[in-house]
Structure 1
Amino acid sequence: MSEEAEAREPGREGRDPEAVSRFVEGFAAQLVEAGMQRMPARVFAALLASDSGTLTSAELGGQLQVSPAAVSGAVRYLAQQHMVSREREPGSRRERYRVHSNQWYEALTNREAVLKRWEAALREGVASLGAGTPAGRRMAETLAFFEFVDDEIAAMMERWREHREKVFGPGPAS
């Protein structure tokens, strides 16, 4: 969506494009400090700040003043992290990229597979090193930590689903 088209979106009247740009760059900087790569952070923040929650590669490139290749790489990373999805425009070869309202939930719950792999590796480490050795005990404590985190994330996500429904009501997740 062009800046002109986005400016006509409902609720956009009076929005200061410079203030939006400052937000996008500031929030992206916070994401980078937390460990996200710079370009995916900028693309994610731009999508999040868009009223429609969707932008094309050209729109993202224009807004962020970056190349289509930079946008493509960022979107690939964000899609792998389950933070955005790709959608084909009807009757067009052009894709739109969408950020969903449940992107944090999806990103966090998809970490479960990573935690399970770490737990399996740590179990193997405890067995290999011997539970009675200092290294084995350290591995066992690390394993117990990740098992605890895994259980807590699952319980927290269930509480979030209930809280989200109370606050925002039932409906689609995006």
Structure 2
Amino acid sequence: MSETAPSRDDELLKFVEQFAFVLVDAGMARMPARVFAYVLADDAEKYTANELAEGLQVSPAAISGAVRALVQGGLLAKEREPGSRADHYRIYDDDVWSHIMMQRLPLLSRYETILEHGIERIGPGQGANRLAETLDYIRFTREEFTQMQKRWQQRRAEKFGDGTTKRSEVGQQTDR
């Protein structure tokens, strides 16, 4: 008896589960992680909750909370087409990973502020030295991240143009 090759849908769902597992390890809840991984990897530009449920082989109720969390987190955008009663969901920003990372910059600024206050209050000593080194690391990270974002935007423009590159073309453009 010969085995048939897995279908593209089977391979897509395997990838979704694997990537969702990594996102869960990074702190994302399981169902939002699955939805986000699916929307990233599938070919459609936007989805209804029913389409997501069908694609992930789950109930629409399971999708509801997941898309709400992803919209609130700025990863998905919710839209409604004129004349339609169904909400549609799409990746919030074509440059989604840059968007995700840029959301972290205010946190780095908060770290800097609290560390500066801690150094002032604690005064000289080993603890203040550790705080000063931590502050320097946070500042370095923020500065490097800002420069990295600029380099990424340049690289992205060179590799993907205006960001509308079709996913089927991406594998041909990436250097591995």
For the aligned pair, the TM-score class normalised by the smaller chain equals: 0.7 to 0.9
Q: Out of 120, 125, 132, which is 2:118 matched to?
A: 125
Question: Is the 2:94–2:163 Cα contact (8 Å) retained in structure 1?
Answer: no
Determine if contact 1:125/1:139 at 8 Å carries over to the other structure.
yes
Structure 2 residue runs of 5 or longer lacking an equivalent are 1-5, 166-176
Query: Residue 140 of structure 2 aligns to which amino acid in structure 1?
Result: F
Which TM-score applies when normalising by structure 1? Answer: 0.81
Identity %: 43
Structure 1: 5+ residue stretches without partners: 1-13
Cα distance in 1, alignment partners of residues 69 and 122 from structure 2? 36
Amino acid aligned to 2:66: A
Q: Secondary structure at the match of 1:85?
A: strand
TM-aligned CA deviation for residue 59 of structure 1: 1.7
Q: Separation in 2 of the partners of 1:65 and 1:79? A: 21
- Alignment deviations for residues 83-119 of structure 1 (CA, whole Å, 9 cap, x no partner): 2211112212321111143110101011111111121
**Partner of residue 90 from structure 1, selected from 56, 79, 82:** 82
Q: Distance in 2 between matches of 1:70 and 1:122?
A: 41
Q: Give the structure 2 partner of residue 107 of structure 1.
A: 100
* Alignment of structure 1 residues 73-84 onto 2, 5 Å: 73-84=65-76
1:28 aligns to 2:39 (yes or no): no
Report the RMSD for the aligned CA atoms in angstroms.
2.3
**Counterparts in 2 of 1:142 and 1:15: CA distance versus 1, 3 Å:** same
When the two structures are superposed, what TM-score results if normalisation uses the length of structure 2? Answer: 0.80
On the 8 A contact 1:84/1:103 being kept in 2, the answer is no
Count of matched residue positions in the alignment of Structure 1 and Structure 2: 160
Q: Any idea what SS the aligned residue of 2:89 has? A: strand
For residue 171 of structure 1, report the CA deviation from its aligned partner.
5.4
Alignment counterpart, residue 63 of structure 2, candidates 71, 89, 110? 71
